[in-house]
Structure 1
Amino acid sequence: MTTLNSTARLTGLAYLGLAISGMLGFLLVRQQLYVPGDAVATTANLVGNEVLARLGIAVDLTVVLTQALAALWFFKLFRRVDAFAAGAIAAFGLVNAVVILVAAVFSATALDVALGGTAPAGDQAATAQLLYELTDASWNLGGMFFGLWLIPMGWLAWRSGYLPRSLGWVLMVGGVGYILSTYVIYLAPGLADSSSALTVPATVGELWMVGHLLWKGVGPATDTTTPTQAVSSPRPS
């Protein structure tokens, strides 16, 4: 159990890094730089806040790093419970990391263009805006894979017996909410702003998971066998 708890706390540490860097990137950086539908304002923000823009790129890279590490540590934590589901967490988490890496490439290129790099027809503002819109689209579509990684995570939390089963349900509901919110963004653009409500269970579940792994680790596994499985075969006479 000591080794398992060490794995749990390293997993929680990586997940905490993912949560912090993700919130910093969205709340501190993107909202101050990207102005939807206003190429001139976005470019002016990039030029006038170069340090902040570079910090945003570094934060996005931290998201990529911590997402990849969390994916691998979750696999190690749960592989003995169900190798296929643990592999699903790792696979979807790593795909999401690649999507965010692509978003970081777009935002880094937007900054280069805004600061005087080459741009088609010399229209730096329009090109920088397009690149930031691609960044935004990458983050939105990445929500699909983030939802997909929460579902097996929740199932394994429920199945393992050494994490609260209610936590597993919250994570699975949150994963479905993330997937639905991705569809809402593109199928019902008028409801895009309210679609964030669908991700609330995911946020609750993630914070709960991080806190539990770091504070309590994992408890002893409870018996998850069904009564039928528990019945032993009769001994030969």
Structure 2
Amino acid sequence: MHELTRTARMTGLFYLGMAITAVLGFLVIRPQLFVAGDPDATLANLVTHDSLARAGVALEMAMVVTQALTAAWFYRLFRTVNSFAASGIAAFGLVNAVVGLVSAVMLATAIQVSADPVGDPTATVQILYLVSLNMWGVGALFFGLWLIPMGWCVLRSGWMPRVLGWLLMVGGVGYVLSPFVLYLARDAQVLFDAMAYPASIGEFWMVGYLLVRGVGRKAPDAAPPPVHPPAAVAG
């Protein structure tokens, strides 16, 4: 296994960790706590399920860590393909991490307010969860922006299926456009969700490819063996 394959598999491992923590925190735990349109129920859930709420914050923080590591390792993987695009993956990925960081702060503050009320805890907790939710909604801009240079690097490298590269780029554009659809068109939640499907397929394909295959056969070795002249010529 050469250096590039090891880098690819470490990138895939961090990417998988990011996906797992994001899914568990945002799609599994959050719906059990936050009730849209019912602040009293949200506050009651936080008080009753304090451990679950704290687990949600821990998962959000874990997502931040794995997102940052994924961004850094994608730069390491693709820097020889196109340094500008690789830097874009890292930069946009780190912005994603900041989005998650702010969201985690909101959730942690909501837990603190539910345990030690300040002012109107019912309204405060609901607002904090709404801000966190909208951080993720607006954050889709950068969730998409980091997929576009990622797909471009896949296409330029020749190490991975070209279809994967195009899927990542199309999914990235869809992600970038989705917040505009969500906030400009009322009752467009279904379309907003649908626009994320290509990106989700591309990301899970990328994770699987990095972990199972690493890089394709066309990828260069990290340190190719030296070429020595024939003995007769050397003499």
Q: Decide: shared fold, TM above 0.5.
A: yes
Paired with 1:134 and 1:67, the residues of 2 have a C-alpha distance of 21
- The aligned counterpart of 1:129 is 126
Paired with 2:160 and 2:133, the residues of 1 have a C-alpha distance of 34
User: Can you list the C-alpha shifts for 1:176-201, whole angstroms capped at 9, x where unaligned?
Assistant: 11111111111113102331101101
User: Can you list the C-alpha shifts for 1:130-180, whole angstroms capped at 9, x where unaligned?
Assistant: 111110011111111010000000110111010111100000011011111
Residue 107 of structure 2 aligns with an amino acid whose one-letter code is S
Residue 173 of structure 1 aligns with an amino acid whose one-letter code is V
1:142 alignment partner, one of 136, 139, 142: 139
Structure 2's unaligned 5+ residue stretches are 221-235
TM-score by length of 1: 0.90
Ranges of 4+ aligned residues in structure 1 off by more than 4 Å: none
For the residue of structure 2 that corresponds to 1:35, the secondary structure is coil
Paired with 2:67 and 2:36, the residues of 1 have a C-alpha distance of 27
- The aligned counterpart of 2:8 is 8
- The aligned counterpart of 1:181 is 178
- The aligned counterpart of 1:227 is none
Structure 1's unaligned 5+ residue stretches are 224-237
Q: Flag the 1:8–1:42 CA change in 2: closer, same or farther, 3 A.
A: same
How big is the shift at 1:85? Answer: 0.2
For the residue of structure 1 that corresponds to 2:195, the secondary structure is helix
RMSD: 1.3
1:163 alignment partner, one of 138, 160, 165: 160
For the residue of structure 2 that corresponds to 1:217, the secondary structure is coil
Paired with 2:199 and 2:67, the residues of 1 have a C-alpha distance of 16
For the residue of structure 1 that corresponds to 2:187, the secondary structure is helix
User: Can you list the C-alpha shifts for 1:93-122, whole angstroms capped at 9, x where unaligned?
Assistant: 0011001100000010011111124x2xx2
Residue 25 of structure 1 aligns with an amino acid whose one-letter code is G
Instruction: Tell whether 2:189 aligns with 1:172.
Output: no
For the residue of structure 1 that corresponds to 2:146, the secondary structure is helix
How big is the shift at 1:72? Answer: 0.2
Residue 26 of structure 1 aligns with an amino acid whose one-letter code is F
Paired with 1:189 and 1:212, the residues of 2 have a C-alpha distance of 38
Residue 83 of structure 2 aligns with an amino acid whose one-letter code is A
- The aligned counterpart of 1:116 is 116
How big is the shift at 1:222? Answer: 7.3
- The aligned counterpart of 2:92 is 92
- The aligned counterpart of 1:77 is 77
TM-score by length of 2: 0.91
The number of residues matched between the two structures is: 220
Residue 36 of structure 1 aligns with an amino acid whose one-letter code is A
How big is the shift at 1:28? Answer: 1.5
Residue 156 of structure 1 aligns with an amino acid whose one-letter code is C
